[in-house]
Amino acid sequence: MTSRGASDVVDLRARALAVLVGNHRAGYTVPAEGLYPYQWCWDSGPIALGWAAAGKWDDAWTELLRLLSAQWASGMVPHIVFWESCDDYFPGPEVWGTSHTPPTTGITQPPLPVSSAARLFVADPDRDRARAMLAAMWPGLVAWIGWIARARRGPHGGCVIVHPWESGMDNAPCWDAPLEHAPTASDPHLERRDVATVAAAHRPTDHDYRRYLGIVERLRAAGWDTEEQAAVSPFAVEDVAFTAIAARAASDLGQVARDVGEDPAPLDRFAAEARAALTALWDDDAGWFRPYDVRREAPLGPLTAGGLVAVWAGGVDAARVDRMLERLDGWATAAPFGVPTCDPTAPAFDPERYWRGPAWVLVNWLVADGCARSGYAERAEQLRASTLALVARAGFSEYYDATTGQGIGGHGFSWSAALTLAW
């Protein structure tokens, strides 16, 4: 590397750390100032890795501990923890009405923080701290996986999400069909705050928002019973990416269990079942993994990045990975700044609208890491380099137009900065 290159890297790292520091609150990190003013569940996973990569181990562990301190008695970890009251975000705690302390939403997100806890445990140079932090978190981590394994299993043994927001890929076009069957919000007036700071063309539509809120109303009316949501929600989808992240979380935790003298058997069992479920979600005609609509018993399209995130689970058959990567290469003509979150040849593809086309640093990182673990080192390196080039050029955006490389959505976005540090 030339010295100019080396100083660019130092500069990028310094800017990434400044984003995290700016978004840091008391013991947790908001995804982006203003737009997302609370703690989000799966964001905490990459954010903790960013703090660790910056050598801020206490902040890394605290991020995860703080999240788990909001865990529900059932083991469910809520998708947002409303640590502070704030007018910048809708729907806030009063819409959810979960009566949980601290106030939280009543749905979850992929259990990525579990894998981050395992990673911190292995990598923390202070072994006493690593053991103490892991011990503090252990019951919560195991209960989280236990709840998913118990309460969120679909017909193929994969994980069921009861709201599009639980996927973390809120308006991915594969949710369109099941969302059309969801009730609309009783109050048609929307208090949306996101479109005050980000162009409406980059965000989910009001049409979708009314249905997101309609599902929230239905789950609230059912009393936020986290054991029953999969049965009562009008939206129930066995999701590929959620299943892959849960499988990997369980196997990462199982590995740690061996190191600390805990029982890995239930974790390993769930990981194996979830991986087997992914196999059942493979669509051999499409050469891609597809989520499954539990209510209408049908696989969902179009092809989205969530299907590719299956590789993060590990253990995906090489012939399948090859087929997906070949297709991904085909997508690069239309969307050279990928990974695009939707097949760019699909009618639903929209280069600027959130999870319907734009590239996201987290998706690239999950795919690259999965590739590296599956023996595709060159592909992993290519994704790492292209993503860092995107970030260096367009900043720590929430997402990027995969056709132009332009940074869009929120700026100063935590996981884009955190994964830059981790990479």
The residue ranges that bind ligand GLC (CB under 6 A) are 31, 36, 40, 42-43, 168, 170
Taking the complex as a whole, the smallest distance from the CB of residue 337 to ligand GLC amounts, in Å, to 19
DSSP code string of 293-341: ETTTTEE--S-BHHHHGGGGGS---HHHHHHHHHHHHHHTTT-TT---S
Assess whether 398 carries a catalytic annotation. yes
Residues 170/164, Cβ–Cβ less than 8 Å: yes
Between residues 374 and 416, which has the closer beta carbon with respect to ligand GLC?
416
Phi, psi of 166 (to 5 degrees): -70, -20
Nearer of residues 124 and 352 to ligand GLC, judged by Cβ? 352
User: Of the listed 43, 252, 398, 401, which one is catalytic?
Assistant: 398
332 CB-side CA count, 13 A: 10
99: left (phi over 0), alpha (psi -120 to 50) or beta: left
98 vs 374, which CB is nearer to ligand GLC? Answer: 98
Quote the CA–CA distance of 110 and 159 in Å, as a whole number.
10
**Residue with Cβ nearer ligand GLC (202 or 384):** 202
Count how many Cα atoms sit within 13 Å of the Cα of residue 184 in the half-sphere of its side chain.
9
Quote the longest CA-to-CA distance of the chain.
61
Whichever of 157 and 410 has its CB closer to ligand GLC, that residue is 410
**Taking the complex as a whole, how short is the minimal distance between the CB of residue 414 and ligand GLC, in angstroms?**
7
C-beta closer to ligand GLC: residue 120 or 362:
362
What letter would DSSP give residue 27? Answer: S
Tell me the C-alpha distance between 306 and 304, whole Å.
5
CB 363 within 8 A of CB 297: no
Known catalytic membership, residue 176: no
Q: Report the residue number, 147 or 355, with the smaller CB distance to ligand GLC.
A: 355
Give me the least distance between CB of 49 and ligand GLC, in Å please: 15
Q: Whole-number minimum distance, CB 44 to ligand GLC, in Å?
A: 9
Tell me which residue has its CB nearest to ligand GLC.
31
205 CB-near residues (< 8 Å, 6+ apart): 171
Which of 401, 399, 397 has its CA nearest to residue 413?
397
Q: How far is the CB of 410 from ligand GLC (least distance, A)?
A: 8
Residue 22 burial by CB count (10 A; 0-12/13-18/19+): exposed, middle or buried? middle
CB of 96 to ligand GLC, least distance (A): 14
Q: What is the 3-state secondary structure (H, E, C) of 178-218?
A: HHHCCCCCCCCCCCCCHHHHCCHHHCCCHHHHHHHHHHHHH
Q: How far is the CB of 36 from ligand GLC (least distance, A)?
A: 5
- The catalytic residue among 43, 166, 170, 343 is 170
- Closer by beta carbon to ligand GLC, 42 or else 365: 42
Taking the CA of residue 329 as centre, how many other CA atoms within 13 Å lie in the half-sphere pointing to its CB? 8
DSSP state for residue 290 in the 8-state scheme: -
Q: Supply the minimum distance, in Å, between the C-beta of residue 415 and ligand GLC.
A: 7
The amino acid that residue 214 corresponds to is: G
d(CA 176, CA 194): 20
Of 253, 231, 268, give the one whose Cα is nearest residue 153.
231
Alpha helices in 24-111 (DSSP H): 41-53, 57-68, 93-96
SS3 content of the chain, % helix, strand, coil (to 5): 55, 5, 40
Query: Residues with catalytic annotation?
Result: 170, 398
